[in-house]
């Protein structure tokens, strides 16, 4: 089996049989298979990305409407990375299903694979998440029914959908903040004699929205708008390199408003910057009808490569940006590239890689926080934990996977969930109940939900060095009653806090608490730790049954919470 086939296999969920013996299939799942014909291809006899975006949007919209029971429109499509191109004669398989529904919007997961009919091979092309909004009916605004996850994979995607939604809602604000903080450090644009003027790459095209471009709601089909945007972006990239470019990545599409039959769509694109092997093209779509002013419909940033005969990226020429706005876009493209690389590194970082810690800085803050919370949610959705022992109402579970030992401790406490969340969120108070927390100081209160700490733990051997950890603590309140409170912990690297001779630098891959409200006065508290070599000595004797420190520690935690049940002394984040 090739690595491509393995990649495709890992995205498929094992069959789940229901009590009646029938194989379970998600009721919102929609599948589409299309053979790539010459009419779908570009000049390289590869499937046009614009055509693929149309098929993806159609499939996902049908899934959303199957769940909602009414018409739905595309609100946004998250960043997409295309891992492979698709040739004429190959088959595109698209699977879409609703991961989670909120009040009037829902997240749809989309998986695209390619199939070669002659060799029976399949491989993953891309994986995307799209948000759809239900349209008002004659009865008024639609209140979507909730998605009920049945399998472990569905539970995982359901849980992570809340975190992805959080990122979408603050996406524009994050990008603005990151660009404003990064632009000052990007330096001036360098002048090259052989640089290609950016003005040469400028493209403007007008499309008249006709009935074939509309969906069943008589609005311009979202997939069609994305296809037109991809078309002008490709022309801009081609003008820059005088070659046929390959689209690799699209930053988030965000639909700011609808357009309809009879509208004129003005599509504009220009190369913002060129790097050694890639270029960024900015593209926007505006609509108007008659003498109306232009309405901003959508915008995106697309990254292209030019491949040589061996399918390797070619070195690209330099770009000479236009004055003022061109130089601004040039610098912003550098910042966005850094963001993309940080995000790719964080998301793709393997658990076996050393060091486990990822450098923290403002440009990757949101993705580190997302990864931190997601890792804890993934552990929480695992269903193959083994109960190792139980003592004094403290349950200890273990799970061995990929040569890594994961530990789960579960207790019930007579404290409201929100109060437990506030008490445990401030790691400085943890030493009141956990003897492993000798010292704890706040390094940086990043925002209301994320804090950087330095924690010192005692040596596990007599006369040995203690350990210190630089931890990112990410806390989350529930999105709704189906979510727990979360406090996620992971190690990060900070340049101003390097390892010292006095302590051995320890690392935490994933740890933290999930806090579930059982009733107004009872809370289920679960602690997780994905044990790294640096953490393992602290817990190995408990796992082996040779020690009861876990039980005494979490009994102390229960006593601490109940003793501070009525405490009003929890500091707000701004006071950290």
Which tens digit of pLDDT belongs to each residue from 201-229? 999 999 999 999 988 778 899 999 999 99
Q: In the listed set 105, 136, 164, which residue is the last one of a domain according to the structure?
A: 164
Domain that holds residue 206: 170-348
What is the mean predicted confidence (pLDDT) over 245-249?
Answer: 94
pLDDT score recorded for residue 6: 38
Query: Does 393 have pLDDT greater than 50?
Result: yes
Residue 232 maps to a domain: yes
pLDDT score recorded for residue 7: 40
Query: Does 131 have pLDDT greater than 50?
Result: yes
Residue 353 maps to a domain: no
Same domain, 148 and 126: yes
Partner residues linked to 456 by β-bridges: 439, 468
pLDDT band at 480 (very low <50, low <70, confident <90, very high): confident
Same domain, 189 and 53: no
DSSP-assigned letter for residue 355: S
- Cα–Cα dist 285/360, whole Å: 35
pLDDT band at 414 (very low <50, low <70, confident <90, very high): very high
Same domain, 155 and 241: no
Evaluate the CA torsion angle 125, 131, 136, 142 in order and state its sign.
positive
Residue 362 maps to a domain: no
- Cα–Cα dist 1/501, whole Å: 48
CB contact burial 230-241 (16+ within 10 A = b; e otherwise)? bbbbbbbbbbbb
Percent pLDDT > 70 in the chain is 85
More confident site: 498 or 135 = 498
Same domain, 72 and 176: no
Burial level of 304, CB count in 10 A (0-12/13-18/19+)? buried
Same domain, 22 and 97: yes
Query: Does 475 have pLDDT greater than 90?
Result: yes
Mean pLDDT score of the chain:
85
What is the mean predicted confidence (pLDDT) over 443-463?
Answer: 88
Q: In the listed set 118, 135, 164, which residue is the last one of a domain according to the structure?
A: 164
Query: Does 353 have pLDDT greater than 70?
Result: no
| CATH number of the domain within which 290 lies | 3.10.129.10
Query: Does 69 have pLDDT greater than 80?
Result: yes
Quick check: 421 and 475 in contact, CB under 8 A? yes
Residue 364 maps to a domain: no
Query: Does 367 have pLDDT greater than 50?
Result: yes
Partner residues linked to 303 by β-bridges: 249, 280
| CATH number of the domain within which 475 lies | 3.30.530.20
Residue 536 maps to a domain: yes
The model's pLDDT over 526-561, given as tens digits with 9 standing for 90+, comes to: 999 886 655 555 455 444 443 467 788 899 999 999
pLDDT score recorded for residue 23: 76
Same domain, 331 and 416: no
Query: Does 346 have pLDDT greater than 70?
Result: no
pLDDT score recorded for residue 351: 44
What is the mean predicted confidence (pLDDT) over 94-113?
Answer: 95
Q: Which two tokens stand for residue 3?
A: 């690595």
Q: In the listed set 164, 180, 203, which residue is the last one of a domain according to the structure?
A: 164
Same domain, 318 and 190: yes
pLDDT band at 576 (very low <50, low <70, confident <90, very high): very low
CA-nearest of 121, 44, 119 to 85 is: 44
Q: Which two tokens stand for residue 250?
A: 């699209």
The model's pLDDT over 7-43, given as tens digits with 9 standing for 90+, comes to: 433 344 555 555 666 778 899 999 999 999 999 998 8
Q: Which two tokens stand for residue 531?
A: 């044990």
pLDDT band at 135 (very low <50, low <70, confident <90, very high): confident
- Min mean pLDDT across 273-287, 316-330, 345-359, 491-505 is at 345-359
Residue 372 maps to a domain: no
pLDDT score recorded for residue 357: 75
Same domain, 178 and 136: no
- Cα–Cα dist 58/54, whole Å: 6
Same domain, 450 and 524: yes
- Cα–Cα dist 562/552, whole Å: 15
Q: Cis link prior to 198 (omega < 30° from 0)?
A: no
- Min mean pLDDT across 78-92, 293-307, 494-508 is at 494-508
Residue 77 maps to a domain: yes
- Cα–Cα dist 449/485, whole Å: 12
pLDDT score recorded for residue 25: 87
Same domain, 443 and 571: yes
Same domain, 137 and 182: no
Instruction: Count structural domains, the chain.
Output: 3
What is the mean predicted confidence (pLDDT) over 388-395?
Answer: 87
Residue 355 maps to a domain: no
Quick check: 321 and 327 in contact, CB under 8 A? yes
Same domain, 131 and 214: no
Q: Residue 342: which region, alpha, beta or left (left: phi > 0; alpha: psi -120 to 50)?
A: alpha
Q: For helices 171-183 and 325-348, what crossing angle results, to 10°?
A: 110
CA-nearest of 4, 374, 327, 12 to 166 is: 374
Spatial CB neighbours of 22, under 8 Å, sequence gap ≥ 6: none
Q: Which helix (H) or strand (E) holds 298?
A: strand 295-305
């Amino acid at each position: 089996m090739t690595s491509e086939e393995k990649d495709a296999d890992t995205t498929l969920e094992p069959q789940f049989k229901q009590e009646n013996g029938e194989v379970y299939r998600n009721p919102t799942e929609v599948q589409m298979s299309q053979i790539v014909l010459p009419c779908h291809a570009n000049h390289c006899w590869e499937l046009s990305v614009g055509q693929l975006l149309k098929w993806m949007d159609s499939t996902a919209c049908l899934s959303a409407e199957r769940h909602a029971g009414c018409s739905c429109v595309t609100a946004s499509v998250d960043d997409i990375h295309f891992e492979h191109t698709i040739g004429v004669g190959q088959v595109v398989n698209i699977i879409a299903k609703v991961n989670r529904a909120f009040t009037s919007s829902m997240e749809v997961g989309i998986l695209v694979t390619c199939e070669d009919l002659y060799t029976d091979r399949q491989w993953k092309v891309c994986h995307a998440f799209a948000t759809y909004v239900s349209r008002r009916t004659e009865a008024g605004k639609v209140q979507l029914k909730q998605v009920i996850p049945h399998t472990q994979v569905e539970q995982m995607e359901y849980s992570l959908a809340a975190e992805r939604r959080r990122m979408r809602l603050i996406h524009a604000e994050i990008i603005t903040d990151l660009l404003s903080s990064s632009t000052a450090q990007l330096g001036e644009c360098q002048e090259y004699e052989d640089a290609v003027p950016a003005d040469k790459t400028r493209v403007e095209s007008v499309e008249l929205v006709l009935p074939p471009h509309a969906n069943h709601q008589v609005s311009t089909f979202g997939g069609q708008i994305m296809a037109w945007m991809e078309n002008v972006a490709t022309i801009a990239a081609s003008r820059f390199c005088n070659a046929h470019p390959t689209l690799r990545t699209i930053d988030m599409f965000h639909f700011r408003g609808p357009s309809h039959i009879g509208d004129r769509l003005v599509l504009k694109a220009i190369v913002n910057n060129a790097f050694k092997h890639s270029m960024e093209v900015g593209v926007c779509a505006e609509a108007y009808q008659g003498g109306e002013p232009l309405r901003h419909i959508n915008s995106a940033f697309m990254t292209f490569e030019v491949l040589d005969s061996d399918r390797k990226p070619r070195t690209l020429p330099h770009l000479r940006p236009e004055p003022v706005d061109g130089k601004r876009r040039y610098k912003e493209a550098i910042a966005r590239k850094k963001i993309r690389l940080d995000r790719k590194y964080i998301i793709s970082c393997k658990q076996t890689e050393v060091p486990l810690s990822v450098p923290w800085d403002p440009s990757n803050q949101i993705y580190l926080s997302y990864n931190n919370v997601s890792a804890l949610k993934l552990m929480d959705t695992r269903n193959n934990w083994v109960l190792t022992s139980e003592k004094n109402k403290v349950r200890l579970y273990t799970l061995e996977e990929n040569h890594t030992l994961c530990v789960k401790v579960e207790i019930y406490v007579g404290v409201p969930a929100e109060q437990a969340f506030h008490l445990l969120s401030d790691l400085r108070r943890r030493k009141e109940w956990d003897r492993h927390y000798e010292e704890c100081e706040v390094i940086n209160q990043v925002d209301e939900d994320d804090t950087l700490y330095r924690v010192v733990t005692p040596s596990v051997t007599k006369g040995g060095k203690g350990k210190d950890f630089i931890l990112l603590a990410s806390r989350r309140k529930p999105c709704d009653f189906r979510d727990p409170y979360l406090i996620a912990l992971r190690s990060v690297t900070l340049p101003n806090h390097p390892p010292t001779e006095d302590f051995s630098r320890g690392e935490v891959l994933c740890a933290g608490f999930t806090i579930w409200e059982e009733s107004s006065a009872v809370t289920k508290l679960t602690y997780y730790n994905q044990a790294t070599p640096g953490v393992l000595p602290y817990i190995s004797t408990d796992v082996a049954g040779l020690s009861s420190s876990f039980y005494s520690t979490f009994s102390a935690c229960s006593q601490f919470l109940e003793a501070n049940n009525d405490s009003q002394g929890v500091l707000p984040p701004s006071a950290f």
